[in-house]
Amino acid sequence: MLNFVIKHRLSGGGMNSVSDVMREWCGRLDRCCLSSGAVSTASKATSNNVVNGVDAGAKLFVPRRCTITLDNDATSSMLRSARSFTVLVSSRWGHDPQRHWEFGQLLMLSARQARDQAAVLLVADGSAVEPWALRAAKLTDANLLRVGIGECTHQARPQIWVRFPEGANITRDEAVITIADRIDALHVRRGGRIESCLNKRLQPASQTSVSRCAVRVGVTVATASAASNLIKAGAVGWCAAKTADGGDTVEELKRNLGTKYNRVATEPASVAANAPGLCTTRYWLNEPEQWLVHCTRASKGPWPGETLTEYRDTILTNDRRVANRTALDALCRIIHTAEIVSSAIVSSRRYPVVCWSAVPLLELLQQRCFRAHVQRWDYEPYGVAVRVQAIHDLGGRPVIYGRPDQAEKLPVSERFRHQAAGEAIDWRKEKEWRLGCSLSLASLNPPDVRIFALDSCSARSRLVDLPWKVTLLKHVSTRTLKKIGIDGLSELWKAV
């Protein structure tokens, strides 16, 4: 493959190499502005007059339309010592942890290669991939610089700041791709802006004002990916290994991260019990007003109690199992930690809570529905049930339904209980209870706790050796539901 990488480590080093880098980048951006019509006609005319007014034997000079400034000497030193530069770009990653893991492995591979080759990674300030790239560079000890385009909109000023003259219309993605000598595109959405910009850089130099550059594009199972189209245009497809193994050692990651290495969700889900095997029971389902139900759901990002930074570190440094975040995985995590962590997903951020429903479990599942605005079911057939009296003794209380403005009228100690009654949806039918703190299952008497899950081979193999009894549920088919003739129910459930 042709090598389009600029060699910056010139004989003697010093600021001359930094000046060359900035001069080359400015030249590319200037040519991009002129060729794309991104500057006004008046500016072009001024430029032509300057060029035509100089003698043929003199050195031609076109006034810069783009300026690049560096934040400090450390950035200059990094530019001076770099052997090459790789620009990281990516379309948005969405909310699927499996996709996060796939793209994250490509990112870690790029960061490791940059470190080993004494290259510097460049990423657009404020782009979708920037926070992930910062963590990958931290974990691998790779050099990375943020490139700000236009006016600085963040509190932290970027290390490299590119500014255009008035009237220029260059997007962030177009600018950072224009200055690139090599591009690692982790994920490119078909028909998006990044695909268009990459296609321009893949064109022969005779067809564009900016020279062609080397492009690697991630090949994953993501839908609507432009990888195949870009490969046909001249990009190189690349993919990561099936696991995160083969990179840095755990000790190296510990050192670079500076914190305890996170292996969350990779350990077995079961905990020690008095009696081995899967112990199932169903009689508690017929005890009226005795149990509160907490349903788990799939996580599209950090677990409750897990920060966004911890989530990214976990995804980037572990094998694919950490991306398994289904409702069953959430239940197994609760069992493994013996704790339900309070969160503020459905309540005020000031009052993290653990939510419960006083509606009997089978009735609750029968009335569940798919919430299109959040793309999930409101209740899943996985979770924990605890006796009402046990939750009450710990300070749990029924929710106080009312208007949104009534929350501040409650005593501070009771505000965690407030919930707007709702207009389009009447939330009062959920009979919600709240506990204003995390719940340790280990602190409860085992007979006061029940685990429930949809019956499956996976559930039967994972929910074993527990100190609490398990209830497996079965979903009655739609055909059976129609045959029974029960009106008003979206589904019918029963214990196995």
* Calpha distance 106→110 (Å, rounded): 6
Q: What would the mean pLDDT of 206-223 be, rounded to a whole number?
A: 77
Inform me whether the pLDDT recorded for 297 exceeds 60: yes
Q: What would the mean pLDDT of 381-410 be, rounded to a whole number?
A: 90
Inform me whether the pLDDT recorded for 60 exceeds 90: no
Task: Give me the DSSP letters along 147-169.
Answer: EEESS--SSS--SEEEE--TT--
* Calpha distance 396→419 (Å, rounded): 15
pTM for this model (two decimals): 0.80
Residues 129, 177, 316: CA angle, nearest 5 degrees = 25
CB atoms within 10 A of CB 241: 11
Residues 6+ apart with CB under 8 A from 374: none
The single-letter code of the amino acid at 143 is N
Q: Are 334 and 441 in contact (CB under 8 A)?
A: yes
Residues 6+ apart with CB under 8 A from 68: 22, 25, 26, 160, 161, 162, 163
Burial (CB count within 10 angstroms: exposed 0-12, middle 13-18, buried 19+), residue 40: middle
Burial (CB count within 10 angstroms: exposed 0-12, middle 13-18, buried 19+), residue 326: middle
Which of 159-173, 193-207, 221-235, 258-272 has the highest mean predicted lDDT (pLDDT)?
221-235
How do residues 426-436 score in pLDDT, each as one tens digit? 778 889 999 99
How do residues 82-91 score in pLDDT, each as one tens digit? 989 999 999 9
The predicted structure's pLDDT at residue 369: 73
Strand order in the sheet with 143-149: 67-70, 160-163, 143-149, 119-124, 84-89, 182-185, 214-218, 236-238
Q: What would the mean pLDDT of 172-193 be, rounded to a whole number?
A: 93
Fold of 15-238: Rossmann fold (3.40.50)
Q: What would the mean pLDDT of 375-390 be, rounded to a whole number?
A: 88
Residues 6+ apart with CB under 8 A from 427: 401, 419, 420, 421
Strand-pairing partners, residue 143, are 120
How do residues 227-250 score in pLDDT, each as one tens digit? 999 999 999 999 876 544 445 554
Q: Give me the chain's average pLDDT, please.
A: 80
Which of 256-260, 269-273, 339-343, 423-427 has the highest mean predicted lDDT (pLDDT)?
339-343
Q: Could you state, in order of their start, the residue ranges of all structural domains in the chain?
A: 15-238, 283-400+429-495
Inform me whether the pLDDT recorded for 177 exceeds 80: yes
